[in-house]
Each structure stands twice: as structure tokens, then as C-alpha cells.
Structure 1
């Protein structure tokens, strides 16, 4: 008996190598076009497609090479052309070329760069396997194109291995380290000092420090005009990228670099700063996940021209070979032409991407020493090309009145990052309620929005019905179990017949399925993915929000004249913002940031912000309206980071998960007891506020439970006493909340591991990454530890 029917086995034997080769080519095509999209979005579906293609591309090519090698040792089948195996030997270097991978992706994750030694071993083993396949096919008239293809394949594989090598963190750091600095020659100076001391010569040692920043000529000057050009944005971004990429490997920076960056960014407009940081992060992504950095070296460019020239030469040599139709199978000839033509086309696409990349523009047109120098026609052309990638903003109505503000709506294919701020709302999650978006009217096409909401609503409805059915089954099972146990005690026969059947079928089987589902959920995080679909909100970045963050950090940078002060400012978790308001009521709020852990503070201020947001706002001014929307977006965003992005918050999260679960359990019990089941967030918020808080929760419940639900209610009531600031144009609760959220955000950004920031760039990027780099530019980072530089000592003979 055959496991696989003979007809199917015959087809598989005939097409296994051909199918693998075609599949390998398809994966390469997918990767070259889809891989650049992952820095523009965090969509799970796209990430899954890229992940699958990346892993299967290498496996398919490796397996195909082994099959070709195995096939060369077999006898020729009667129905095959006599020299057909010679053609299959030509496919081996093609697969080596595929293993070199496209230029747009070398590493799927940051950890892949550390595996460069494995790829080097793979290069050697696959090259030997390809050579072995060719040797088995000798004498082979196709040896000229095979040799040329081997040159192309080896060069492509070397490019990939070199890209992984240079992007691995240890090598990345070694490349950036300056030569060892022993400082001024202390021993030589002291020898000279002893010599003159023995000669009884009057002398003294004069110390001169390095020049103050006000005495040094500025090395980086912003052009004296209203706006930077698109090319200048890229040029400045590339310059700062080459300086601040050391943040990734925890290098320290000098006070020269700190002052240069801070002085320059102090003169920028917020949008200009956003665009420069956007280009910096784009350069950082390309250096870590693509071949861009090595291709823009002289050796990399030469290697690429040789590889492409060899590929073209191999194609022309093969095309001019006579008697292809008689020597080889017709389908294999077509496949070979497809490999050549698609391979050449993909190389041409790579060259276009290479030539039109920001890196090419920055390398080709260096930053001029005189920013007011006249621009050349080439600069005008590059500015025109870069104009298409400029961030685009669209007006959106404010929460009150006919005034508008702008939100980021750059088209998908022109983005350098996702431009999205995600949100997770605690009360909405408790009630399983859909949280409405603030900017939902202008960001998405109405029909697409309605279609997506319909799908999510249907999906949510099905999950709810399954949960209700599961709960009913559990309740029924519990009732049946109680009844059967009672009857079994009374009747011995039921104890030996019905009761075992119940244990097996009604109790055992559901338990098995429950355990199986729990096991699957632990491995694949199914529930987390479902919650992400149902309860995550998405907002485009508002321009006024970025401006507020920019000016808040800019003001703080003025205080950070020393590394110690910079560290103190960047470690603020809301206390600086509260004290800056200079209101008498603020003292009661300080305990909610100073006397609590960071994760506890996040949960407290998030719930309090939502309780205040659900309160009816009738007399908001334009500024208060901005602060209200800003606070809401940032509150939900920080909760999203804490719950949905634990890696980004791993340094500061503490026991955030435990606090969240305990608070969730108390909130669900509270809502169930008050019969709030209609998913009305406003009613739920009013009900929480209505609870008497004369006695603090810890004095009633103790501290075993880490719930902060009613502590947040107390905080919300304190905030409501501040008013909204609309009448006297002072610092109302919304201005206080917005400043506190900036500090909470900047604290998380500065205490997140640099490698996690870089890892997030391959998943669409986050606002947190921009704040991290902006803080570094303003000198609010731990890496600025060189404050004075070298002292210069000299001996002066005489008394003066």
C-alpha cells in the first residue's frame, strides 16, 4: 500500500526542484517589496507575511540546493533530455544569490545581527554544496554562466553577512569607539617639575581648561530663514545620526556634542525637529535592518556593480548558447529565463531604491559649511524629490467651536514611520466598551472605517456569545454536578454508573478543552491579540501635541547645564510639572507622584484622567480643549505602553501587571454590583466618582490588594477642584494633566533600553522613540558625562 499515490508521487518527483526554485524566487520578490513597509506600520498581518517569507526564503533555498546536489547523482530518466541535469546545475548559484537576500531586509529582528557568524558558515557550506553540484555535472558546457553566477551569489551573500556583522551591537560599538584617550602627559610634566624644583628655579603650574561654549565658534549653524529645505532636513538628520547612533550601544558624549545639539535644536521649529528626528530614526533603521549602510561604502558600491555585471553577463552567455531547445527540457529553459529576468529586474529595483534613498542624498550632497551658500540645480532636484516624502497634515475640528488643529496624515507609501499613537483605555476594557476616537472623521476613509468597524463589531459579538455560552455551560455543569453528587450519596447504583459517566463526559472533557485552550493561549498569546483587535484605539499625531512636548522639553533643557542636573530633570515623574504651576492646591497632588511607584502612578493618573474626561465640559476655551484632548490621548497611550508593550516599559513597569489585574478585578466587581452592563463609560465614571472617599482605601482594605481604583477617584476629585482654567486662563486641571503626562512620557522614554527603541523601529515606530531622541538632543540623557574635558597644564618659570 502506498502512502502517497503513485501519480502524485511522480508529479512531486518531477517538480520538486522546479517548485522550490520558483518558490524561492517568489519569496525574494515578496521581501524586496514588502520589507520596507514594516517601518511604516505595526499591522500584525504584514508582520506575519514578512516573518513567514523571511524564514521560508532561506529554508527553501537551502533545501533546493540539497535536492539539486542529490539529483546530480541519479541516472537520467528516459523521457528527459540527455543534458538536462547540466541546466539544473546552473540553478545552484541562483539559489546562493537568493540566500544573499534583498537589500531591503537583512535582519528580521535586532537579535539576528548577532548571528553573523552563522551566516558566514552558511556562505561557506552553501558555496561548497553548489560547487559539488556543478562538479557532479562536469563536463558542463554551461560553466561560463555558472561561474559568473557564482561570483554574483557569493558577493550578495558576503554583503548580507557583512551587513549583519556591522550591525551586531558589539561590532557596531567597536566601530564607533574613538582611539584610547590617555589624557595629558602627567608623568612628563611631573618629571619636568622635579627637574626645575631641584634647580631651585621659581615656577608655578598654570591650569587652563577647554574653552567655554560661549568662547567657541559654533560648528553647526541653522540657516537664517523661516524654514529648512527638505534636503537640509536630511543633511542635518544624517549628521546627528552619525553622532547619536552611539546611544544604541550606551556610548558617552562630550559637552561639545551636547552643546552643539542643544543650541541647534533650540533654534528649530517643532515641525523641523520632528522631521530631523524622523530622518535620524530612518537612518538608524536602515543601518540595523538593511544593506544600505554597507552599500554606501566604496567597497559596497563596487561589489554591487560587479555582482550586477556578472548577472547580466551570465544572462547574455546563456541566451547565446545554441541548441537549448534540444539539450534541455522546455519547462526548465523557461524557468531559467524567469530566474534571469526577474533577478535582473529585482536588482534594478534595488538600484532605484538605492539611488532614491535619503542616505544617497545625504552622502551625495554633504552639509555645507556656509548654510547661506547658493544652492545648485542638483539641490533643487533633490529638494523636489524629497518634497513627496514631506509629512502631510490635515485640519481637524477641535472639541469645541469652529477652530481647527492639524493631524499627521502622510500617505502610507511616503511615510518614514507609522505616525500613529495607540491607546488602551482601562475603563473601556472593564466594560468591554468601544472607545471612540477623537480624530476619527478625517483620518480614514468613511467607507473603509465603517467596513472595519462592522468586522470588529461582528467579531466582538461572536466572542461575547461564545463567552456567554461558555458561562452557561459552566453554570449548568455546576448545577448538574451538585445534583448528581446528592443522588449518588442516596443511591449506590448511580454512584457506580451515572457519576463516573458525568466525571468523564460532563466534567473531564470540558476540563481537557479548557486546559488545551490555556496552553495554546500561553504559547501564542491569543487573548492578547484578540484584545488588541477589540480594544486598541488609534490616533494620528496632532501637531499641537508635538509642539507641546517639544516646548516642554525645551524649557527643561535650559535647566540641564550639568550632567547631574540633566539626570535629575529627566528623572522627574510629574513633580516638576506640578511645582511649576505654583498653585496652592498642587501640594495635595504631589503625593500621587512622589510617594508611589511609577507603574502605580501611571494607573492612578490614567483612571483619574478618564474620570475627568467623561465629565461634561461646557465652557472650554480653545487652549483648554487642546489640553483635554492631549491629556486623553497621552493617558491612553501610556496605558497602551504599560499593558501592550511590556518590553518598552520593562525598566519601569515594576509590578504594573499585578496592579492592573487587581484594579481590573475590583472595577468589574464594582460595576457588576452597580448593574452597569450597557457599556456606558460616562455612567461608569460618574458612579466611581459618587463613592465617598472620606477614608482612604488602604485604611479600609489593607495593602494586600494592589488595586488603585478608588485612589484614582480621590485624585480625580482633587483635579476637579482646579477647574478647567477657561475662565481665568490659568493652569486648570487640563493644563496640569498635560504637563504631568509629558513628564511621565519622557521618564519612560529616557529609562527604556536603547535596544528596545531600535527594535520598535522595525514595527512602525512609536512616539516614545521620538521623545527619547528629542531628549538626547536637548541634553536630557545619561550619556552626557564629559562636562569639562581635558585641563591643560603648563609650567611657568618665574613668579609671574
Structure 2
């Protein structure tokens, strides 16, 4: 039937949708929604787990759009099936002669949308806030299940296809319930409540040794295992129980809990007693913790681990296999249209592939391995451990660092400044960003610095004088410590590092501290421009804008066109010119630029270094280590959790390592 619209007071009627298009829509409405929903699930299965490995912007955009589309399509398709069935029986089958779909087949398709609403195991929440909406998903589970039951009852015939529909309904309810449960378990409130119960449980471990452990949750098992683990003198850094203890410490941070003095002392003592291990061991530990916490917040980790998870996976997998085999055997070729048969087989095969991948990753996950270790199944854990270590464990930790630079903004041809005006929001677009693997020298330097700080003082107070401030004050030069605000310090010493780096214009491999300083400096500048939410609150972009404007003006005065291949010459001319520019206090009050101040510090460093530049680079390197450590400690915990969906930042690794060494404010408790 054509659709018409009245224009100019019924004077003229224009046909908007032709009859052919209307009929085509009626024929492919449900079928098209099914195909879109199925493709969405396949994309989420393949790419949903890629977010933990620094995905590019295209992957993130595709996952985000597919994540939103998947729920919408499934809900709309359920409503379309219900509406079509109602019209089918109301019109006594006549209206649907051209694009007829068997009502029983429609009912058989409905449970698959419940499965799609449950989503794959690789992604349950796109952002951390989705976990807090678990109650909305619980309402959706109840309403969509009721709608599916209504569809099944409307088309019930009592034959083999109706019974297969009931089997798939069970699978759909399990999948959707698992997602709802995982969202609930990943919420901060649930984690906090679980740890409060765990703390109470750990205080009564002696009374519970004779009780049945089946009633305990995972964290209670973990607390019990940790207590017993420290009674064993043969433990080692790579032992799974120590690995689980690290997870226990980490989850407590995200739940915003302050651990007891016993927890703090034992965790720090474990690292110090095993200090003979290679530094990479501890970064491997921290990296694995971040991956597991990604699972907690963004996947079906809580639904997968343990006996319940394996039983659930077996039930859904076996049921899907039985339904697929039964449908292949009992279905007749001429019973349904060819296109409907193809769609049905696509749904069944897609469901089977999803269940196989879910079962495979659930069985061979670290969660399952450590869960059974807590249960005392040593043989099973040994087999799982060998398989996981052989096929899933990488020999080297890959930690990515974003890189950006002040002079890349200056060299950008799109930088156009009119007078003293330049929009702050354009700084993000002008700053070109690259990513690189953190060098082993940087990791080693950061670990050694934090380890020594923890060893020197068991009660290092980062909330007092930050380490980078103490280091600057020790130089006994007022010009070094004149910048107090943290963002201004980052910009100042980033420009200083870049000026020194390009001033000497020598190969990086001659001085490892020089290369390390440049790497860490560019990383902190990247955070300032692109990831400001991970730094303390400050007016860094305002300062950066005024500094860019002044730098552009100075380079124009000395007739230097800044390009990537002449930065060495440009930096030398800038340092020479800065000594002749008068320091006008009136202009200084109107601008927050720190360019001339950074040039003064650079000239001071170069003058003190003379021909022996290695001590200068050692100082700059240690300064950046202290700046990164302070930034990691001051970053809000929820920002570290939010960042996990974009790939864990190097700053999160540093923060977590400080947590295990007892260098965070959250751990500043003096044991009695």
C-alpha cells in the first residue's frame, strides 16, 4: 500500500514511498534486522577484546558504533516479530502471502535475539559507567524474556520446532543473565561490598577452617588463600598465589578501599624479599593485573570463572549443538523459503561459533586456572598452566607510550596565529601523536627508582613534598624550583629537555639517559595535550597556548622557519636570542608563557654541564621519573579504570607498581 502526504491544504497528494519499496520493506524488515544483528555480534566477538591492546581510532569507533547498534537492533527486531505475528493472525494469513514467514520460524528466531542482547564474552560494557546501569539490563532481561515467551505461546504448535525453540530460549536467558550478572559484579559498589565482606572473613579465617568453603565468593577464597600462602616459605615471585595476591591488592584500589597494615606490610615485604628477580618480572605482574582488571570491568569474567562458569558454558554449547543437529535432521527443504532456511542456518552456525569461542577462552583463561588453584586442583592447574604459558603468554612485556612534542606543534603548517588569539581546543588537533614501545632502559630506571624509594623509607609520604620538587630544590638553584604548578613544570621541563636534546645534536645511543629523558618528556607532554584527565587539575593548555604564541613570534623575529630537519639550528638560535630579550614584568602579567624561563633553565644546565654532559642527562632523567611517579600517584583511580578500554597507559603501570611498594596515600598507614 502506498504512503501519501497532504501538501498545501489537501490541494495536492504526493506519493512518498512507492508500493514496490513498501513491499520490499515488509519482506526484508525482520530478515534484514536478523542479518544486521548477526554481523554486529561477529564484529564484537572479533574486535571486542582488541581494546585492551591500544586500538586505533577506527577500531574503537567500529566497536563503539557496533556496541550501541547491537542492543538497539535486537530490541527492535523482537518488537517487529511480535507485531508481525499479531498482524498475521489478525488478518487471517492473507496479507502475508507474498512475503510469508512461517510463524513458528519467527518464534524460533526470537531466542537468538536474547542471545544477542546477552552479547559475546569479549565485551559486556563499553565504558565503566555501563556497569552502573546493571539494573536497567535486569529490567531488559525480564521484559525481553516475557516478550519472547509471548511470541512462543502465540505460535506454539507442539511439534519439533516448538521444542527446539524452548531449548534456544534457555540458552538465550542464560546468555542475557550472564551479561546482567557481569555488569552487576563489575560495578564499584559491588566490588566495595565484596571486599568489606572479604575483610570480615579474613579476620575469622581460623574459625572458618573447618567450615564448608562452597558458600564463599571468589574474593573470600582469595583472602583465605593469601593468609595461608604467607605461611609457606617456598613461595616465589611467579607463583600463582602471589599473582592472585597482587590482584587482591589491585581490586581494593579500584573499590576505593584502604587496606590493613598487615596487607600493606606483607605485599611490600614480598617485593623486597624477592628483589633479586629481574625488574621485568614485576612489570609483567603489573601488566597482567591490568589485563585481568579489564576483564572484571568490561567482559564476562565473573560469569566465566569457576565451576558455575564452566557448567554454564557446557550447557549452552551442548544445547546449541543439539539444536543445530536436530534442525538439520528434521527440517525439510520445502518447508520454508530458501532465504529463511539460509538465515536460520546462519543464526545456528553463528551461535555455535560464539559458544565455541566462549568455551575455549573460559577454559584456558587465567581466571579458571587460579580459581581451581584456590580449590586445590593442582593437577588440573598444572595442565592449564602449561597450555596457557605455551600458547598465550608473551615472552616480553609490551607497554605502549604516546609521544608528542612542543616543537611538533611549532612546526605544524596548520598553526596560524592572528595577533594574540589562538583557540585552545586546536592544540589537540595540531599535536601529532605517535606510539612506541617503552624501552627497557626506561622500565628499569622507573622500577629501580621506586624500589629504592620504598626501601629507604617505609613511610614515604607522596602527599607532602613531591619527589620532583625535592630533586629540584636539592640543586640549590632558585631558577630550577621557581615553577610550582605541576602543569607548568611539565611544559617547562619538556621544552628544556627538547632544547638540550636538539642543541647537542648527537646520536641518542651515546647517552641512554638522553634518549630516556626525551622518551619520558614526550610522553608527559602527550598526556598533557591528549589525556589531561589522567593528570591533576591545572591550566596547562592555557600556559601551552601562550607559550606557543610567544615561540612563534620569537622565531619570526629571528627569521627562522621551524621544520623537522632544522630543529637543532632553530633551538640554538632561540637560546642565543633569549639572552637578549628583556624580561618585561607588565607583559609577563598578561601572558602565562614560560618559553623564556625554559630557555634560562636550559642555558644554566648547558653552562654547568660543560663538556661532561652525562651528569646533566642523569639529573633530567631522574627528574622525569619523579614527575611520572607523582602523576601516577595523583591520578584518580577511576581514570586508570576508564583508560583500560583504550589500552592501559604506562602511567597506570607506574601507579600500580607504587601501590605494591606502599608508596601511595591509600597505603599510608603505620602498622602497630
Aligned pair partner of 1:556 in 449, 453, 457: 453
Cα shift at 1:250: 1.6
Which residue of 2 is the match for residue 691 of structure 1? 577
Larger radius of gyration: 1
Q: Hey, what's the Cα distance between the residues in 1 that align with 2:108 and 2:445?
A: 61
In the aligned structure 1, how far is the partner of 2:496 from the partner of 2:60?
35
Would you say the 8 A contact 2:34–2:77 is kept in 1? yes
**Cα contact 1:658–1:706 (8 A) shared by 2:** yes
1:422 aligned counterpart, secondary structure: strand
Following TM superposition, by how much is the alpha carbon of 1:239 offset from its aligned partner in structure 2, in angstroms?
Answer: 2.5
Structure-1-length-normalised TM-score: 0.72
Deviations 1:573-631 (A, max 9, x none): 41333467xxxxx211x6534652111111110101100001125699x7x71100000
Aligned to 1:349: 357
Unaligned runs of 5+ in 1: 185-215, 370-374, 394-407, 411-418, 434-463, 476-517, 581-585, 790-800
* Counterpart mapping for 1:618-657 below 5 A: 625-649=511-535, 652-657=536-541
C-alpha distance in 1, partners of 2:658/2:138? 38
Deviation at 1:420, TM superposition (A): 1.7
Contact 2:26 2:99 in 1 (8 A): no
Q: Give 1:566's match in structure 2, choosing from 454, 457, 461.
A: 461
Q: Is the 8 A contact 2:578 2:600 kept in 1?
A: no
| SS of aligned partner of 2:532 | coil
Q: Report matched runs for 1:105-120 at 5 Å.
A: 105-120=123-138
Q: CA deviation at 1:131?
A: 1.9
Give the alignment of 1:11-410 within 5 angstroms.
11-75=24-88, 76=93, 77=95, 79=97, 84-139=102-157, 141=159, 142-178=161-197, 219=231, 232=238, 236-266=242-272, 267=275, 268-321=277-330, 324-365=332-373, 379=382, 382-383=385-386, 385-392=388-395
- Return the alpha-carbon distance in structure 1 between the equivalents of residues 31 and 590 of structure 2: 65
TM superposition shift of 1:660: 0.9
Distance 1:380 1:300 in 2: 19
Secondary structure, aligned partner of 2:608:
coil
Counterpart in the other structure of 1:479: none
Pair 1:676-2:560 in alignment: yes
Q: Cα offset for 1:83?
A: 7.2
**Residues 671-720 of structure 1 deviation map (CA, whole Å, 9 limit, x = unaligned):** 22222225132222112211244888463623221100000001111221
Give 1:325 deviation, angstroms: 3.2
| CA-CA distance at 1:125 after TM superposition | 1.5
1:349 to partner: Cα distance: 1.1
Deviations, residues 503-559 of structure 1 (Å, cap 9, x unaligned): xxxxxxxxxxxxxxx9xx99xx8x577545xx1132211111100000000111123
Alpha-carbon distance change, 618 to 128 in structure 1, aligned in 2, over 3 angstroms? closer
Work out the CA distance in 2 between the residues paired with 1:256 and 1:143: 59
Query: 2: CA distance between counterparts of 1:662 and 1:83?
Result: 67
CA shift for structure 1 position 781: 0.7
**1:343-391 CA distance string (max 9 Å, x none):** 011100111111222222333345999xxxxx97973773464245444
Work out the CA distance in 2 between the residues paired with 1:316 and 1:537.
50
Q: TM-score, normalised by structure 2?
A: 0.85
Q: Does 1:599 align with 2:483?
A: no
Question: Given that residues 479 and 601 in structure 2 are in contact (C-alpha distance below 8 angstroms), is that contact kept between their aligned partners in structure 1?
Answer: no
Count of equivalent residues: 622
How big is the alpha-carbon RMSD for the aligned residues of Structure 1 and Structure 2? Answer: 3.3
What corresponds to 1:666 in structure 2? 550
CA distance 1:83–1:709, shift in 2 (3 Å):
closer
Pair 1:616 & 2:504 matched: yes
More contact order relative to length (CA 8 Å, sep ≥ 6): 1
Contact 1:722 1:732 in 2 (8 A): no
CA, structure 1 residues 344+7, in 2 after alignment: closer, same or farther (shift >3 Å)?
same
More displaced 10-residue stretch of structure 1: 708-717 or 661-670: 661-670
The structure in which a higher percent of residues are helix is: 2
Q: Is the 8 A contact 2:313 2:355 kept in 1?
A: no
In the alignment, the residues of structure 1 paired with residue 427 and residue 317 of structure 2 have an alpha-carbon distance, to the nearest angstrom, of: 46
Give the whole-Å Cα distance in 1 for the aligned partners of 2:357 and 2:199.
43
- CA deviation string 1:190-246 (max 9, x = no partner): xxxxxxxxxxxxxxxxxxxxxxxxxx995576757xxx6xxx366533331023211
Where does structure 2 lack aligned partners over 5 or more consecutive residues?
Answer: 1-13, 204-227
Q: 1:299: Cα distance to partner?
A: 3.1
CA 1:282/1:767 → structure 2, altered by over 3 Å: closer, same or farther? same
Counterpart-to-counterpart distance in 2, 1:180 and 1:364: 22
Structure 2 equivalent of residue 577 of structure 1 = 471
SS state at 2:590 partner? coil
CA contact (8 A) 2:428 2:529 kept: no
Give the 3-state SS of the residue equivalent to 2:17 in structure 1: coil
- On the 8 A contact 1:114/1:165 being kept in 2, the answer is yes
